[in-house]
């Protein structure tokens, strides 16, 4: 139960980060939305989590989870159509599931452990599967939460290969977590950051 709750909180954090950062940061709403989410989970602030005395020692021993993200954006002024998104994700063995988002599992039939997930690149991030026929989005965000460099490297390589396949299928442009074009140099920086320090990106500890 505790593990399940931790996973839900991590995914929720990832969804908020991936789903609203691109759209909300420019308008100054990012911090406000993050505070709102953390309040729902009884946290005051993502940067100022108040730990209870009885949980402090346990929390200190927990691994930090690092969010690794790539963006696949439609070529302006076009948008990705919902039906095309579903078909493209299916082709690369990504399945709709928990939190109303898509997931790539360790087995191509959709079983096993989740490796990475896919959300819409703008808020609210999740997908209403019954409305995909009319759904559009300017982009998709692929992400995973890693607690060790070894796991993160293999997950990143799979996510990168998948993102490249999706870019070809949807005629999209790959971007890094700062929405810069995903060049070979930036890809190598991702690998180096993961190898050197697993929690180099902003971490959410639960």
> The pTM is what?
0.69
Q: 42 CB contacts (<8 Å, ≥6 apart)?
A: none
The pLDDT, as a whole number, for residue 197 is: 53
Q: Residue 80: what are its φ and ψ, rounded to 5°?
A: -80, 130
The pLDDT, as a whole number, for residue 190 is: 93
Taking a C-beta distance cutoff of 8 angstroms, is the pair 139, 171 a contact? no
Q: Give CA–CA dist 167/161, Å, rounded.
A: 10
Q: Residue 10's beta-bridge partner residues?
A: none
Q: Give CA–CA dist 79/24, Å, rounded.
A: 19
Q: 198 CB contacts (<8 Å, ≥6 apart)?
A: 64, 66, 146, 147, 148, 149, 152
Q: At the top level of CATH, which class does the domain 2-204 belong to?
A: alpha beta
Cα radius of gyration (the chain): 17
The pLDDT, as a whole number, for residue 193 is: 82
Q: Domain boundaries in the chain?
A: 2-204
The pLDDT, as a whole number, for residue 120 is: 95
Closest by CA position to 129, among listed 99, 150, 169: 99
Q: Give CA–CA dist 29/20, Å, rounded.
A: 9
Regions of the chain short of the pLDDT cut 70: 1-65, 147-149, 197-206
Instruction: Quickly count: other Cβ atoms within 10 Å of residue 120's Cβ.
Output: 25
């Amino acid at each position: 139960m505790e593990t399940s709750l931790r996973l839900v909180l991590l995914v929720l954090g990832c969804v908020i980060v991936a789903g609203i950062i691109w759209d909300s940061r420019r308008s100054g709403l990012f911090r406000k939305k993050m505070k709102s989410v953390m309040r729902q989970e009884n946290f005051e602030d993502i940067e100022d989590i108040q730990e209870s005395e009885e949980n402090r020692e346990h929390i200190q021993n927990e691994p930090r989870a690092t969010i690794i993200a790539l963006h696949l954006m439609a070529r302006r002024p076009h948008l990705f159509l919902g039906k095309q998104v579903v078909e493209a994700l299916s082709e690369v063995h990504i399945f709709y599931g928990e939190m109303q988002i898509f997931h790539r599992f360790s087995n191509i039939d959709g079983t096993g452990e989740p490796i990475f997930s896919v959300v819409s690149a703008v808020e609210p991030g999740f997908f209403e599967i019954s409305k995909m026929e009319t759904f559009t989005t300017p982009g998709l965000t692929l992400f995973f939460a890693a607690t060790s460099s070894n796991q993160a490297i293999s997950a990143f390589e799979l996510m990168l290969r998948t993102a490249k396949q999706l870019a070809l299928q949807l005629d999209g442009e790959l971007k890094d977590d700062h929405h810069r074009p995903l060049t070979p140099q930036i890809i190598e920086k991702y690998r180096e950051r993961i190898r050197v320090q697993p929690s180099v990106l902003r971490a959410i500890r639960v």
